[in-house]
Chains A and B, each alone.
Chain A
């Protein structure tokens, strides 16, 4: 199977997944208590009978269910995710405005957790049974059990409010008028706490996986061979064990990365980070269901896209992998 075939197969599957999510959204609107038109209008629909009538017309809410579904899907296929009557803007515009901030946050958290996690896991496996192994394993367990929103709040108290090392909330210093490198640095300083807290859980996850994977590879025949022919132990660990052990971890990390988007809702809420997670929280408070479902759809699309991307990178990086499905 060549790259093009593989790519088109994956893209087709991704599109199918997204259509399925659009269908899910459609039924979710119907699952809400009350009139679907009211749900689509959000809070704005409470008083406005004319708007509700318009919505019924536009989404064909008086038509049979299948026709309604088709109208709804047609909207998604033409990149129309609905309209926020509360903010008087198309949902897609709202989401796309906020997307870069979320991509930056989740991307940073992903890189941090992967680097930190694999390093911790590798170290623990190398020292298996020693105290440093126990320490890392215990630390991973603690990270694993800590509620994300709580550790975000607590780190806010300690590092931003008490110690003042990093800014408390926000994306950049408002009104500072930084440009170029100074602005990047400013955003970076704001990024530290949200990215670290968001990545914490995944750091723990990857550390555990990396440790297990390293120990498994360490028992493999080719490692024994390398040792037997006199390769120095650090070199065996680095070149033979770590390099092979990291493959399954990266695969799983790619699959798990989508969950970062969900966690971003909590992080962005705590740190007032202007991404789609924050948008989702605001939509939640305002009962703006169109925006809520739009964010849900876009974040799923992000996950699908990211999974295809990791598969692709992977296939190029490691020619042994034959992506089956």
Chain B
């Protein structure tokens, strides 16, 4: 329970976790709360928020229920955030592990490759990828994954480099364990904590990226997403501010919560580091 105690000592992290849980609950309850498709116009357009009980956050330019869009959008944002982070980890962790463990020429080549991806403006690459592969769930997840893995590879490489020379790894080499086995059973398990922390922070960035893409019209046309909602209200900013305001607020709160929780996780998983931060 030491872990939980350390996590709870960071009040921001607890706040983040609470917000995050609320978002998750809304996302899970979306089909129950609003069983109808969030795309369907259900009322008069431009109903202001807090006026009608049926539309707590008002309606948009086409008379769609904003509250319904928001809870259905939560599913999309969370799912894309998590899955594309997993994709980034799937690319970054093996690459970093191989580079760090192999060293020499392989390390050099892989790090050049990573550097190349870090040079390219990541948002521009994501736009090009999604536009060319057509905006669909798969291409969006892939694009976000492809632009987010380099920091993971660098982190894992650094960790592996320092672990490689430890005695227990040397011992594993001596008793003749195969290299893949050493990497997977001796080295990688010890890099899990920083990877988890980085992953939790990356989910937030992925959600920001996804919403930026769908704001530009590069969202999956079948999925209601927060970024799309902000973009849809853009033309009527002055007389119907709420259409863009609430989805944006939802993005902000979710990303903030993820960052807060991620920092708490960092404190809890790396207690030595956390004490040094003060």
Q: Which residues of A contact B (CB under 8 A)?
A: 17, 20-21, 28-29, 31-33, 39, 128-129, 141-142, 144-151, 153-154, 156-157, 161, 255, 258-259, 261-263, 265-266, 269-270, 280-281, 284-285, 287, 289, 292-293, 295-296, 299-300, 303-304, 307
Contacts and interface: CB of A to CB of B under 8 A. Distances in A.
Given A17-B116, A129-B278, A259-B122, A147 B128 contact: no
Interface string B120-150: 1111111111011110000000000000000
A305 B255 CA distance: 32
Nearest to A162: B238
A21 B120 contact: yes
Nearest to B238: A161
A28 B132 contact: yes
Nearest to A283: B131
A148 B121 CA distance: 16
Contact of A148 (B124, B127, B212): B212
Interface in B192-232: 204, 208, 211-212, 215-218, 227, 230-231
Contacts of A141: 256, 259-260
B119 A258 contact: yes
Contact of A145 (B129, B134, B204): B204
A255 B118 CA distance: 9
A interface, over-half SS? helix
A255 B216 CA distance: 26
Interface in B83-142: 116, 118-129, 131-134
A149 B212 contact: yes
Interface of B: 116, 118-129, 131-134, 204, 208, 211-212, 215-218, 227, 230-231, 234, 237-238, 241, 244-245, 248, 251-252, 255-256, 259-260, 278
B131 A289 contact: yes
Nearest to A146: B252
B256 A142 contact: yes
Contacts of A150: 230, 244, 248, 251-252
B67 to A, nearest CB: 18
A149 B218 CA distance: 14
A218 B148 CA distance: 33
Given A31-B133, A161-B238, A266-B215, A261 B124 contact: yes
10 contacts: A17-B119, A33-B134, A129-B278, A141-B260, A146-B252, A147-B230, A149-B230, A157-B241, A265-B127, A295-B124
Contacts of A149: 211-212, 215, 227, 230-231
B212 A147 contact: yes
B265 to A, nearest CB: 15
B216 A153 contact: no
B216 A269 contact: yes
